[in-house]
Amino acid sequence: MITKIDIVFIFDELEKCIYPERMVTKKELFVSFTKIVCKIVPKNIYNSKWQSEKSYGGEIESSFAEKILQRKEHFPSKYGEILMIEKIQVKMLEADVQRHIMVYVERKFSVDYFKKIINEDISVEPEEKKRLLSYSNPNKFLTALLIYSAKFGYKVKKAPPKKSKPTEKANVDIKNNKQRTTFTAENPADYITFNSITNNPFLGDERNFVRIREAGVGNYKNAVIIEPGKEYEVYTYFHNNAKESLNMSGKGIARNVRLQSQLPPVLRTNEKGLISSTISASNSNPTSVWDEAHITASTTVLLSYVQGSAKIDSNGAVKGKVLPSSVFSNKGTFIGYQALDGLIPAGTQYSGSVVYRFKADYSNFSINKTVSADGTNYSEKVTSKIGDEVTYKIQCKNTGSIVQNNMVISDVLPIGMTYVNGSTIIYNESNPNGTRLNDGITTNGVSIGNYGAGAEAVVYYRARKGYSASVSTQNGTKESNGTVIYWQEEY
C-alpha cells in the first residue's frame, strides 16, 4: 500500500530524475513514467480526469494517454521517434525513477531519513504538491502524478554538469583542498594533518591519494574508462603527517578519523564522473581533506559497490578488516590502527589504505520474432491462405550483466488474426522440454519470470489469419516484427 510518505518521496524524486543537462519534453517524461505505473492505473480514470486537467494547462490529448494504456508494453516503439530525436532512452528514465524508489525502500525505516522527507520544503509548486498529497487512493494519486508530470515535469532549465564534491559533513574547501600547507618526508608537520607530504617514498604527492584501476589489472591510475561488465578497484591512502615524537604526549594522535567515499550510481555514454574519498578527523588541520579519481563511461552503466569488498590495509591490528557500507554514507565510517575506533597515531608506520571494488553493470536484452506456416521453417515473412494456422516464435535473451526481473512477453495481432487458445508454450532453462503458459500473450502479455545474464527463453504460439512482439523488463522494452502475407489480401 502506498503511504503518504511514499507519495512525498516519489514526487520529489520524480523531479530529480530528469536529466539536468537539457530540456525534457512533456511526452518524453509522460511516456517513461507511464511505463512504470500503467499496469496499476485503471484506464477509465482518464475518461473523467484528463479533460479537466487539460483545461489547467495539460497539453497531451486524452487519446494519447489512452493509446499508451492500451498498448502498455508497446508504446516505446510507437513513440520511439520522439525519444530518438531527443537522444534519450525510455529505459534510462525508468531506471532512474526505480533506482530512487529502491533507495527509499531500502532506507524506509530510517527515522532520520523519514524526518528529512516529511520536513522537506515544498516551495516548488506547493499547491500542486498539496493536491497530490490529498489523494488517499494510490490509483488516483498515480493518475494525478502522471498528469502533473506531463504538465510540469519538463520545466528543467539547462545547467552545467554537476561537479562531484565532498559531503557537507566533511566541511572541505574545494577550491583550496590541494592548496593546503604541505610538508616533506624529511620535515613532517608540527600538528595533526592528513595527506599533505609531497615526497612520500611510496606514493609521491600524498594529496593525490585516490586512485583507480580495473580489478587486479596493472597499476592504479588517476583516471580510467569504464567498460560494462568489468569490476574496478578504488584505492584511498591515509597518513597522519604529524611528527612521531608528538605521539608520546598524545598530541600526535588523530581522533575520530573517518573515511567517506562517493560513487556515482549511473554513468551514461561518454559521460565523465568523479569518485571521491574524504578523510576527516576532529583534531586535524584542516579537519578534512579529499581527492578524486576520474572515470568516463564507454556506454551507459550502473555502478554498484561490491558488498564486503572495502578492506583496510595497515601495519596494525585492523589489517584485512572489512569496512561497513556506511563508508558511503554522509558521515562515513571510522578507520584506525589498532581498531576501527578513529584513532591513528602520527608517522608513516601508522599509515594505511582502503581498497573497495565496484562493478559496472549494464542492462540490455534482445528479442526476435519469426513466423512459420508449417511449424518448422521460421522466417520474418510467410505466405499463407486465409484460415490457415501460423506459428509464431519469439526469442528473447538477457544480453546485459544484471538480472532482468519479471519479464513479460506480449504480441499484438493484426485485424483478422485470431489467437488459438492454449497454444502458448515456453522453453527455457527451467523448462527445457517446454511448458504451457496462460492465454494472454496477445492481450495483457504473459509473465515469463526472471532471467540472469545470458539466459534466454523461446515462446511459441499459434494464430489463424505478425505484427509487433515485445519483451519488457524493469529496464525497458524492445520489439521485433514478423509479417504474414496472405494470398487473397495484403496486411
CB 269 within 8 A of CB 275: no
Round to whole Å and give the CA distance between 235 and 23: 37
Query: Which of 361, 378, 404 is the last residue in one of the domains?
Result: 361
Query: Which of 361, 389, 408 is the last residue in one of the domains?
Result: 361
Lowest mean pLDDT among 70-84, 119-133, 385-399: 70-84
The CA-CA-CA angle for residues 173, 175, 181, to 5°, reads: 75
Instruction: For residue 303, give its domain range.
Output: 168-361
Question: In the predicted model, what is the mean pLDDT of residues 295-299?
Answer: 90
Residue 187 is placed in which grid cell?
Answer: 620535515
| Residue 250 per-residue DSSP state | T
- Strands, E assignment, 170-325: 210-214, 223-226, 231-238, 258-262, 266-267, 272-280, 288-297, 301-305, 311-314
Q: Which of 287, 273, 289, 343 is nearest to 314 (CA)?
A: 343
Question: In the predicted model, what is the mean pLDDT of residues 32-36?
Answer: 44
Question: In the predicted model, what is the mean pLDDT of residues 299-313?
Answer: 92
Identify the pLDDT of residue 130: 52
Query: Is the domain of 405 the same as that of 327?
Result: no
Interval 256-293: pLDDT, tens: 999 999 998 888 888 889 999 999 999 999 999 999 99
CB 295 within 8 A of CB 272: yes
Domain of 451, CATH number, reads 2.60.40.740
Identify the pLDDT of residue 387: 77
Query: Is the domain of 439 the same as that of 349?
Result: no
Averaged confidence pLDDT in the chain: 71
**243 to each of 252, 344, 351, how far by Cα in Å?**
7, 13, 13
Round to whole Å and give the CA distance between 100 and 283: 36
Identify the pLDDT of residue 477: 64
Query: Is the domain of 20 the same as that of 125?
Result: yes
Selected residue with higher pLDDT from 190 and 32: 190
Round to whole Å and give the CA distance between 145 and 128: 10
- Position 126 pLDDT exceeds 50: no
- Say if 459 falls within a structural domain: yes
Lowest mean pLDDT among 131-135, 437-441, 447-451: 131-135
Query: Is the domain of 114 the same as that of 202?
Result: no
| Sequence-ordered list of residues with C-beta below 8 angstroms from that of 424, at least 6 positions apart, any chain | 436, 437, 438, 439, 441, 446, 459, 460, 461
Q: How many domains does the chain have?
A: 3
CB atoms within 10 A of CB 169: 15
Decide: helix, strand or coil at residue 102: helix
Query: Is the domain of 10 the same as that of 126?
Result: yes
- Position 21 pLDDT exceeds 60: no
- Position 464 pLDDT exceeds 80: yes
Round to whole Å and give the CA distance between 400 and 397: 9
First to last CA, the chain: 45
Query: Is the domain of 28 the same as that of 74?
Result: yes
* Residue found by looking up cell 519479464 in the block: 407
Lowest mean pLDDT among 34-38, 156-160, 376-380: 156-160
| Residue 452 per-residue DSSP state | -
- Say if 157 falls within a structural domain: no
Query: Is the domain of 406 the same as that of 345?
Result: no
Query: Is the domain of 100 the same as that of 210?
Result: no
Lowest mean pLDDT among 43-47, 82-86, 169-173, 474-478: 169-173
Q: Which of 154, 176, 174 is nearest to 163 (CA)?
A: 174
Round to whole Å and give the CA distance between 262 and 26: 32
| Sequence-ordered list of residues with C-beta below 8 angstroms from that of 449, at least 6 positions apart, any chain | 406, 407, 428, 430
Query: Is the domain of 339 the same as that of 383?
Result: no
Identify the pLDDT of residue 484: 52
Round to whole Å and give the CA distance between 273 and 266: 9
Interval 319-355: pLDDT, tens: 999 999 999 988 999 999 999 999 999 999 999 999 9
Selected residue with higher pLDDT from 14 and 350: 350
Selected residue with higher pLDDT from 374 and 164: 374
Selected residue with higher pLDDT from 357 and 57: 357
- Say if 100 falls within a structural domain: yes
Query: Is the domain of 443 the same as that of 468?
Result: yes
Confidence class of residue 473 from pLDDT cuts 50, 70 and 90?
A: low
- Say if 159 falls within a structural domain: no
Most confident of 35-39, 80-84, 144-148: 144-148
CB 296 within 8 A of CB 272: yes
Q: Percentage helix, strand, coil, to 5, in the chain?
A: 25, 30, 45
Question: In the predicted model, what is the mean pLDDT of residues 41-45?
Answer: 43
Identify the pLDDT of residue 10: 45
Percent of the chain with pLDDT over 90: 39
- Say if 161 falls within a structural domain: no
CB atoms within 10 A of CB 162: 11
Confidence class of residue 301 from pLDDT cuts 50, 70 and 90?
A: confident
- Position 490 pLDDT exceeds 50: no
- Say if 282 falls within a structural domain: yes
Identify the pLDDT of residue 363: 78
Identify the pLDDT of residue 253: 96
| CA 332 distance to own-chain centroid | 22
Query: Which of 338, 361, 384 is the last residue in one of the domains?
Result: 361
Query: Is the domain of 405 the same as that of 292?
Result: no
> How deeply is 30 buried, as exposed, middle or buried, from its count of CB atoms within 10 A (0-12, 13-18, 19+)?
buried
Query: Is the domain of 370 the same as that of 391?
Result: yes
Q: Which of 340, 198, 323, 352 is nearest to 261 (CA)?
A: 323
CB atoms within 10 A of CB 362: 18
* Residue found by looking up cell 511516456 in the block: 31
Whether this model's pTM surpasses 0.75: no
Helix/strand/coil (H, E, C) string of 162-179? CCCCCCHHHCCCCCCHHH
H helix intervals, 233-324: none
Question: In the predicted model, what is the mean pLDDT of residues 95-118?
Answer: 41
- Say if 190 falls within a structural domain: yes
